[in-house]
């Protein structure tokens, strides 16, 4: 069997296995007598329906050259509406606060799309700070300074030895109260500290995997310890740590779902809210899982591209 035939058979088996998995999910739905309603989900992702424009207070409507103006009873500044697609009131109509006065046809992101954005934002901000923490404490872990090593080891052991959920509660309810942090900031702090502890060990392992002779050779050329670490050791360690770092960053994105416990409306919390309103639990959770997969898959692909590019430059 030549290599081409082997590849074709391998791809064929893969497609067959995937079809079996999809079929298993479909027939499982049939077994529990579940009716799929994917059409209910779309407005919660992107709402293409007409958006209502409501009156801000009680007043009287007037039309002038296509502009709708609502003159409020006890206010000097009227509500002026120039952009709309359909009117719901006429000239001279009495308007009450909250009444729909016009409709505007425009797309609006639903709660699932907004939750996805919050997840991406909190994950990548946390990732940035986790790398900084990991690099600082990782260098402390391999330092000759005993105090620095002990501080780094204490940080790693405490954070890795306690659940992320508990750390989120401590950061939000204790540290957040003391420092007056909002929910989003507290979530970023908790995720950064948690992920940073794992990045520390990844960076430590990467630095120690570089041959000792590399540092000695750099120092013999007149470089200081900091210069040798920055220009010789860390670039080599970075290439070796990319695969485990990618795995840790993917875990960070999935772990970000826990920030919903402090009322941050991320993708997971948005999914729970949509389930209660759409009565389509399976469709919602399959969609949420697919969106997480898109984010983590994109990050994994980007890191693989970076890894290949760095390998080609050697």
What confidence score (pLDDT) does residue 151 get? 94
What tens digit of pLDDT does each residue of 44-79 get?
A: 888 777 778 888 888 888 888 888 888 887 766 888
Delimit the domains of the chain by residue range. Answer: 1-34, 49-106, 111-312
Number of residues that make up the chain: 314
CATH of 49-106, one of 2.40.50, 3.30.70, 2.40.128, 2.60.40: 2.40.50
> Which runs of E-coded beta strand occur in the chain?
46-47, 50-54, 59-64, 67-72, 79-81, 86-87, 94-95, 100-105, 108-109
CB 50 within 8 A of CB 70: no
As assigned by CATH, the class of the 111-312 domain is mainly alpha
Residue position matching structure tokens 């359909």 = 86
What tens digit of pLDDT does each residue of 230-249 get?
A: 888 888 888 888 888 888 99
> What is the pTM for the complete model shown?
0.79
Q: Is 269 exposed, middle or buried (0-12, 13-18, 19+ CB in 10 A)?
A: buried
């Amino acid at each position: 069997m030549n290599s081409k035939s082997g590849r074709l058979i391998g791809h064929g088996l893969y497609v067959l296995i995937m079809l079996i998995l999809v079929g298993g999910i479909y027939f499982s739905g049939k077994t529990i007598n579940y009716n799929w309603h994917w059409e209910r989900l779309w407005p919660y992702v992107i709402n293409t329906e007409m958006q209502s424009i409501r009156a801000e207070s009680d007043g009287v409507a007037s039309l002038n050259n296509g502009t709708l103006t609502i003159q409020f009873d006890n206010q000097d500044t009227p509500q002026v509406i120039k952009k709309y697609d359909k009117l719901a009131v006429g000239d001279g109509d009495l308007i009450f606060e909250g009444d729909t006065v016009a409709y505007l046809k425009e797309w609006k992101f639903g709660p699932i799309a907004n939750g996805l954005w919050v997840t991406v934002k909190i994950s990548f901000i946390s990732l940035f700070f986790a790398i900084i923490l990991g690099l600082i404490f990782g260098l402390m872990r391999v330092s000759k300074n005993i105090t620095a090593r002990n501080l780094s080891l204490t940080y790693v052991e405490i954070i890795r030895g306690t659940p992320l959920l508990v750390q989120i509660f401590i950061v939000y309810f204790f540290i957040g109260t003391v420092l007056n942090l909002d929910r989003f900031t507290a979530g970023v702090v908790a995720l950064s500290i948690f992920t940073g502890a794992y990045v520390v060990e990844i960076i430590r392992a990467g630095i120690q995997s570089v041959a000792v002779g590399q540092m000695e050779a750099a120092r013999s050329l007149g470089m200081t310890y900091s210069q040798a670490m920055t220009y010789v050791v860390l670039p080599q360690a970075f290439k070796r740590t990319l695969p485990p770092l990618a795995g840790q960053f993917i875990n960070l994105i999935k772990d970000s779902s826990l920030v919903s416990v402090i009322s941050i409306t991320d993708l997971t919390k948005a999914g729970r809210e949509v389930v209660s309103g759409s009565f389509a639990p399976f469709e919602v959770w399959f969609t949420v899982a697919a969106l997480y997969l898109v984010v983590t898959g994109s990050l994994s692909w980007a890191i693989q591209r970076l890894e290949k590019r760095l390998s080609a430059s050697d």
